[in-house]
Amino acid sequence: MRVTAARLGRSPPTVSRGLRRNSLPHDNGVYDTDLPHHRLLERNGRPRRVELSADPEPGAEVQAELALERSPEQVAAHLRTP
């Protein structure tokens, strides 16, 4: 596990946690790289709703602010002001 972690540029506990989280008894000790992504999607449940796509007005305002080269933090602060 330490060799794998070194090759991936990750810490051994991170690799160990990933293997433990994404391996099930019926996998028979074989780690399939396609399964972790699928299991992640199952754990996360339904996708998060994107609020700006529901109402075009704030989306246009965000685009205008970004066109002025404002940072995302500045845009968020601007949207919070009444």
For 44-56, how does the pLDDT look when each residue is reduced to its tens digit (9 = 90+)? 877 766 666 667 7
Range of the domain at 59: 53-80
34 in the same domain as 10: yes
- Tokens (6 digits) for 62: 């965000």
pLDDT attached to residue 61: 86
Instruction: Identify the H or E element spanning 30.
Output: none
Q: Are residues 11 and 36 in the same domain?
A: yes
Would you say 22 and 36 are in contact if contact means Cβ atoms under 8 Å apart?
A: yes
Tens digits of residue pLDDT in 5-35: 999 999 999 999 888 887 777 777 777 778 7
Based on the fold, state whether residues 32 and 65 are members of the same structural domain.
Answer: no
Structural domains in the chain (count):
2
Gap between the Cα atoms of 22 and 31, Å rounded: 8
Do 57 and 40 belong to one domain? no
